[in-house]
Amino acid sequence: MDAGQDAVSIAPRSRGRRRWRLSAQAVSWLQVSPLAIILITFFALPTLIFLVVSFYDYDRVGIYPDFLLDNYREILTSPATLRVYLSSLQFAFIVWAITLFLGFNIAYFLVFHVRSRMMRTVLFLACAIPFWTSGIIRTIAWIPFLGRNGAFNQMLQGVHLIDRPLDFLLFSPFAVCVTYIHLFTLLMIGPIANSLAKIDPALLEAARDAGASRWRTMVDIVIPLSKTGIALGSILVFTQVMGDFFVVKAMSGGQSASIVSQLATEIQAMQYPPAAASAMILVLFVAIMVGGMMRVVDVRKELVR
């Protein structure tokens, strides 16, 4: 090999190129700039706009630049706000607990128990495929299933478990929870499976060899190592429920409204300033909750390496 000559012939070229070379940081900036520009223009700016509009004055004809706190005062002093926030939080908490239980166990099963890679892919896809059907259709799919004469009631009556159809199944808080779980469990499975897959199986073997019980291995090794996935899944499920607009409307039978569906009514009535103010409150609320979760788990450190 004539390595020396190669080096000589390459060296001047690379030196010539160095003049054009950007610093590593500049390259990174260029690479992330499309993302930054899109997010700033279409996310940060619009948010700023409705922050500004939330202080505006309005009447039936239009909105007028002003600096009023009335919009906020009205929302914060109305008992309806408290009620709708409490009911949304209640839904969020129940749905979070159940999807976390389901998501964690299913992800654990897929990653650690299923032996063939083919089988794992097939099962994972089986969980993911309903996600590819419109959420609206998946929501109304529960109506013929849970209704008075629905498939579920007929099944229960068929095996003589009950003799009258159950009424609480449809158009009730129960139906809302079931639909949420149906819609959002995958958001838990995905991130958790991703962090479980990064755990070195040798660690689990080492724990077993050292005499740790299944429970201890789970509590001291698996759960700490998968907490990024758990946090990410929780954030996704929580924000989806808080931002929901359709499910409560379609499945609760008019017994309760969601925060966003109330907001949508105001938007349709062109009452932009109060809508913007209640949007701002919701955004702050979600931001504080998510911020809290991200304090517990440093999602960024785990994701960006």
5 touches other proteins by CB under 8 A = no
Distance CA 11, CA 74 (A): 72
Q: Among 49, 69, 206, 296, which residue sits at the site for other proteins (rule: CB under 8 A)?
A: 49
Place of tokens 């002003």: 66
Strand positions, DSSP E, the chain: 57-58, 63-64
Place of tokens 């619009």: 46
Kindly write out the interface string for residues 62-91 of this chain, putting x where it contacts other proteins by CB under 8 A and - elsewhere.
------------------------------
Binding positions for other proteins, 248-287, rule CB under 8 A: 250, 259-260, 263-264, 267, 272, 275-276, 279, 282-283, 286-287
Q: Among 2, 5, 19, 35, which residue sits at the site for other proteins (rule: CB under 8 A)?
A: 35
Binding positions for other proteins, 92-121, rule CB under 8 A: 102, 105-106, 108-117, 120
125 touches other proteins by CB under 8 A = yes
Number of helices followed by number of strands (H, E) in the chain: 18, 2
297 touches other proteins by CB under 8 A = no
219 touches other proteins by CB under 8 A = no
Q: Among 143, 156, 166, 297, which residue sits at the site for other proteins (rule: CB under 8 A)?
A: 143
294 touches other proteins by CB under 8 A = yes
Only segment of 77-85, 89-97, 219-227, 244-252 that touches other proteins (CB under 8 A) = 244-252
Q: How far is the CB of 237 from other proteins (least distance, A)?
A: 11
Q: Among 89, 127, 166, 212, which residue sits at the site for other proteins (rule: CB under 8 A)?
A: 127
29 touches other proteins by CB under 8 A = yes
Q: Among 242, 248, 251, 277, which residue sits at the site for other proteins (rule: CB under 8 A)?
A: 242
Kindly state the tokens that stand for 263.
Answer: 């907001």
129 touches other proteins by CB under 8 A = yes
